[in-house]
Structure 1
Amino acid sequence: MEMILGLLIPALSGAAGGNIIGKVAGALNGGGMMNTVLGAVGGLGAGSILGSLGMDATGGAEAAEAVSNFDIGTLVSGIAGGGAGGAALGGIGGIIKNMMSKG
């Protein structure tokens, strides 16, 4: 159960980040479904990428452990990393979609 929560936290925060960036910056909006899917994928991938760069981001196993131990700092780190990764990938997808529709 904890492992599922460890994957849901960055995926859901990434989906939220992708939708927020799409609403805030119209040029980065790829549409509701695209923002959500790319945001969730970006949220899941953000922990791995930031961890390999030496930043203390929470990935699946660490997030699962944080859920079971109620470690608020680690959970907030996972939510922030997932949201940022989701916003980044959602924004990139929106830029590509908008460039393709104009050309």
Structure 2
Amino acid sequence: KPSARWTLDEETTFIDFLLSQFSASSDGNPRKATFNEAATLLKKEFPEALDAKKTSDVCRSKWMVLKAAYHAVVDIRNMSGFTWSDDQRAGVTLKHSDIWE
């Protein structure tokens, strides 16, 4: 079974939809019905998608991956000695490459 590949437009549509449904979730996590609706929306908005279908389960899995990535970024941003700005981001450049070796 091929794995689903997401384009930036698909991810953006998916996230925007979840944000529009946020009030329907009591704990901040979408309900199964929300993932069903998201899958239907993606099928309608991106009928030309040739890879694996974006089913309810695929949407739920994508949500979990996005949520984990978000929390990883938040954890890194909150680490002592780490700086972040929306303009400069982490400020990691080749000038700082010795830190990562």
Relative to the length of structure 2, the TM-score reads 0.33
Relative to the length of structure 1, the TM-score reads 0.32
More helix, by proportion: 1
